[in-house]
Structure 1
């Protein structure tokens, strides 16, 4: 009788080990699938911080900031959905007076492909991401 229970116990341990392996593989697959989304969010945040810092030191929002944005997008392989600046300009210019605050909101999305069936459209989940930063101009305009 003891041999019967010992055999049954060994079999159940093997089943639990198979279950644990399947669970581990599922967790690794989930991590690999979600890793690019976290990297993209980090890249969007870095682009926003760099652009805010450039405007703080430049004191204006002009084509050099737009060029910087496109350069960073190309470097990181990101295509931002929307970039919005909110500020009070010096009247008649694109200049921001010293100690004047401005706000940058950058929005993007990441796509997670859940399933790619051969008979139809793939099943995707779009994850929206945005970053809002506030900066202060460091340039005095006369």
Structure 2
């Protein structure tokens, strides 16, 4: 009589193997990418503030810094990559070792860090939108007369 295939791995020794360095790196990537994404999105504000200050000090409009675009794109890329790595890690652990992601310490770390990361992706996408959105008034250069009244 034929039996239906089960979801357990074919090799019983596969469940006893340790997860290895790849699972450690993937498990640590999720919290590191989450924090790095938020930090780079925060840096966009600092770069923009410095750009406005330089324009006001020079009393002229200056080109928009390309570094701000790079930092604005880095945040969402890191955030989304953290979610993708966590999902792939969960599938790999389930398929190869027959354990759920929260049953190992590195998987549990990735699992708990991926949920707040979903909220930080929204912040990073808003920062990216704000970087590309046109500013109606632009930076106020102030009184640029030299010598004063």
Q: Which has the larger radius of gyration?
A: 1
Q: Indicate the structure with greater strand content.
A: 1
What is the TM-score when the length of structure 2 is the normalising length?
0.35
TM-score (norm 1): 0.36
> Quick one: higher RCO (CA 8 Å, sep 6+), 1 or 2?
2
